Structure 1
């Protein structure tokens, strides 16, 4: 949409209300960008959100199928225990 009264060297004239509206929109966009950056660099807050999500998932799994949850936990403990036992036994094997 070109304005017949403008030349390439002369921008279209805008009303004060249009400029205020543009400034307000730019401020909103800048505030959203700063909020996103603040969240991205706030690692403790993000870690808390992640932990809360995992807790909710675990509670949902427990409510849906407690036997499966116990099985998964027992398997996890067995695997971690095996890794720890292997880490302690491996150096002794070399002697």
Structure 2
């Protein structure tokens, strides 16, 4: 994940991630952005999927919260089957 701040202190960020499925296990990889606002609320953004098997999908999106600002950004990566998450990990950091 890489970030670029666009609009004042922690109000709007452009986010970029690459999802790579490295296992030939019949399951798909997915990832989503997670943000934490100044009031401590965590927001889970929409999942982005890699259904193509081993390979890479590039996704760009913008996360924003102009009411209370974003104090932490992160990414949650998962291995899934259909709508069921089999396992996942989350990394949150202060920008």
- Report the TM-score, using the length of structure 2 for normalisation: 0.17
Larger Rg: 1
**Whose strand fraction is larger, Structure 1's or Structure 2's?**
2
Question: Whose relative contact order is higher, 1 or 2, with alpha carbons under 8 Å and at least 6 apart?
Answer: 2
- Report the TM-score, using the length of structure 1 for normalisation: 0.17
**Whose helix fraction is larger, Structure 1's or Structure 2's?**
1
